[in-house]
Amino acid sequence: MSDPWSQLRKLTTARIALGRSGGSLPTRELLDFRLAHARARDAVHAPFDTADFASQIRFLNTDILCLESAASTQMDFLRRPDLGRRLSHSSRSQLTAHAPKNVNPCDLAIIISDGLSSRAAIEHGPALLSALVPLLKDSGWTLSPLIVVKHGRVALQDEIGELLQAHLSLMLLGERPGLGAADSLGAYFTHSPHTGLTDAARNCVSNIRTEGLSPIDAANKLFHLLTQSRQRGLSGIELKDETPALPAQPNASGLQNSPTREI
């Protein structure tokens, strides 16, 4: 008799129909679980070289600043989330020197960080930027220098956006790895960024990766949402995603536009 779950397993990467061996998992499924767990841990602890990443996105022909959060080490970043939400003193001084003086503020500040998966930023960040930045420039958006930050968390975009006096800030960073995806990139944006904002002021497009929401589709969705945010002067829970539904992708698990998950 055929297993009715076998067809369902072909439609998802979720851990279903694992079977059993006595009171435990079959050896193959146990080893697969341990491999996924190891990949998730590697994604969290893998180093993020901001200078090397900056060299990968030079093709965008825009200024790039490499900064650091107040979390000076990986362990500080993991144990003290608050440190990842603000810049180090030296980086704050460096960014302040680039802040506009007696000129019109930029429309958008884009920040890229490792977050909890440097693999996500490295593998999908350049592709997303290569699709999004031309869309913005062709539509007349003024952009700040691209900011590449080590050990950053979502709310860091508030301080950076405030220092640059940007109308909007967009943070791209690796999301918390799961056992099904260790390379998921998240995109968070805020209108009128300033320190002290809550997650209710943010919008999030998540699961940006090859097996989820492709970088090109994510760029189109972000461009539409950012345009609506600029035109309406708001973001967060008041801004709804009204973009046309994207075609379903095989094995694309997770939400394509979800509430903010602070990381």
> 83 versus 180: which is more confidently predicted?
83
From the list 84, 251, 103, the residue with the least C-alpha distance to 153 is 84
For residue 215, being part of any structural domain is answered with yes
Q: Give the span between the Cα atoms of 94 and 156, in whole angstroms.
A: 15
Which CATH number is 218's domain given?
3.40.50.11240
State the pLDDT at residue 251.
Answer: 47
Treating both helix axes as pointing N-terminal to C-terminal, what angle do 89-98 and 156-163 enclose, rounded to 10 degrees? 40
For residue 245, being part of any structural domain is answered with no
Specify the number of domains making up the chain. Answer: 1
From the list 114, 107, 122, 150, the residue with the least C-alpha distance to 57 is 122
3-state secondary structure of 3: coil
Q: Give the span between the Cα atoms of 195 and 157, in whole angstroms.
A: 9
Tokens in use for 169?
A: 């800030």
Whole-number average pLDDT of the chain = 89
Q: Give the span between the Cα atoms of 223 and 138, in whole angstroms.
A: 11
Q: Which residue has the tokens 């990986």?
A: 74
Burial string for 121-136 (b: 16+ CB within 10 Å, else e) reads: bbbbbbbbbebbbebb
For residue 127, being part of any structural domain is answered with yes
State the pLDDT at residue 79.
Answer: 95
Q: What's the whole-number mean pLDDT along residues 142-158?
A: 96
β-pair partners for 111: 147, 171
Statement: residue 239 has pLDDT above 80:
yes
For residue 83, being part of any structural domain is answered with yes
For residue 94, being part of any structural domain is answered with yes
From the list 180, 148, 164, 177, the residue with the least C-alpha distance to 58 is 148
Query: pTM here?
Result: 0.86
CB 186 within 8 A of CB 205: yes
For residue 247, being part of any structural domain is answered with no
Residue span of the structural domain in which 56 resides: 48-238
For residue 254, being part of any structural domain is answered with no
From the list 176, 167, 234, 231, the residue with the least C-alpha distance to 206 is 176
Which of the residue ranges 23-27, 214-218, 223-227, 243-247 would you say has the lowest mean pLDDT?
Answer: 243-247
Grade residue 135 by pLDDT with cuts at 50, 70 and 90: very high
State the pLDDT at residue 247.
Answer: 61
First-residue to last-residue Cα distance in the chain: 46
Statement: residue 161 has pLDDT above 80:
yes
What does the pLDDT look like over 20-49, one tens digit per residue?
Answer: 888 888 888 889 889 988 988 888 899 999
Statement: residue 258 has pLDDT above 60:
no
Statement: residue 95 has pLDDT above 90:
yes
Sign of CA dihedral 162, 90, 76, 45: positive
For residue 246, being part of any structural domain is answered with no
